[in-house]
Amino acid sequence: MRILPDSRTVGTTLVGLLAAALCGPACYSSSGGDDEDAADARPDDTGAETLDVRPDDAAQETLAPPFPTRFVLRLVSDIPETLYVASFEPSSTSGHWLTLSDRGTPFAKAENCAICDCAECPACSVCGAPCAQLSELVAGSAGVEYLWDGRKWTTDGACGDHPCEAPEPVPAGTYSARFCWGTGRGGSSPCDEYLLGETCADVEFSLPDPDGVVEYVIDHGG
């Protein structure tokens, strides 16, 4: 991470030096050269000094959701090896290799096109069943990744006689990510596949994540 000088401090210092050169001994600064971040003493109408305390802008800045986060699943092996993951329906816990949970309760990390979108009511266009096709997870590759936008989708609303879903930001806190993969593929290609020998691993993470990336490495040696 590069740390750049604060432009406010640099600008204030240059102005202070120029002012000191032009004004001479008649000018002075009560803050030792940086008036912006210090309390200024000024006389009021009665002649008494009052303090002008200026809040630090950086201290007032707070992070607000959503917090986009990238999830990565990789395979490391000392032999050529391929595993398999489901990646055809991100909104489903069974149709995707990544499941996010809040205190043990999974939530939809993506929109489900089979449910009405509350923002599109009264229209309610939905899709059919997704194509259940697995993806390969090859040892030594960059793996598979999912970029989550930091929102969860809930179906608390209604669009006429149909339930509808809407997104809401997931607040800061501690959550769980479940990474799942299989050693083989069953069913028939292209749209009726399922995992064989499924294994899952749970990883606790925080929002916001310090670097915005949550990664799990399947270590088979190497």
Instruction: Report if residue 108 sits inside a domain.
Output: yes
Instruction: Report if residue 112 sits inside a domain.
Output: yes
Instruction: Report if residue 44 sits inside a domain.
Output: no
Other C-beta atoms closer than 10 Å to the C-beta of 177 total 22
With left for phi above 0 and alpha for psi between -120 and 50, is residue 167 left, alpha or beta?
A: beta
The whole-angstrom separation of Cα 122 and Cα 23 is 70
Q: Which residues lie closer than 8 Å to 199 by C-beta, 6 or more apart? A: 180, 181, 182, 183
Instruction: Report if residue 91 sits inside a domain.
Output: yes
Q: In this predicted structure, which of 42-51, 115-124, 191-200 has the lowest mean pLDDT?
A: 42-51
The whole-angstrom separation of Cα 7 and Cα 39 is 20
Number of domains in the chain: 1
pLDDT in tens, 27-85: 333 334 444 444 444 555 555 444 444 444 443 346 899 999 999 999 999 999 999 99
* pLDDT of 65: 95
Instruction: Report if residue 111 sits inside a domain.
Output: yes
User: Mean pLDDT for the chain?
Assistant: 80
Instruction: Report if residue 8 sits inside a domain.
Output: no
Domain that holds residue 168: 71-218
Share of the chain above pLDDT 90, in %: 64
Phi, psi angles (nearest 5°) of residue 146:
-135, 125
Q: Among candidates 218, 195, 219, which has minimal Cα distance to 94?
A: 195
| pTM > 0.75 | no
Instruction: Report if residue 160 sits inside a domain.
Output: yes
Predicted confidence (pLDDT) at residue 25 exceeds the cutoff of 80: no
Q: In this predicted structure, which of 60-64, 158-162, 199-203, 215-219 has the lowest mean pLDDT?
A: 60-64
Instruction: Report if residue 153 sits inside a domain.
Output: yes
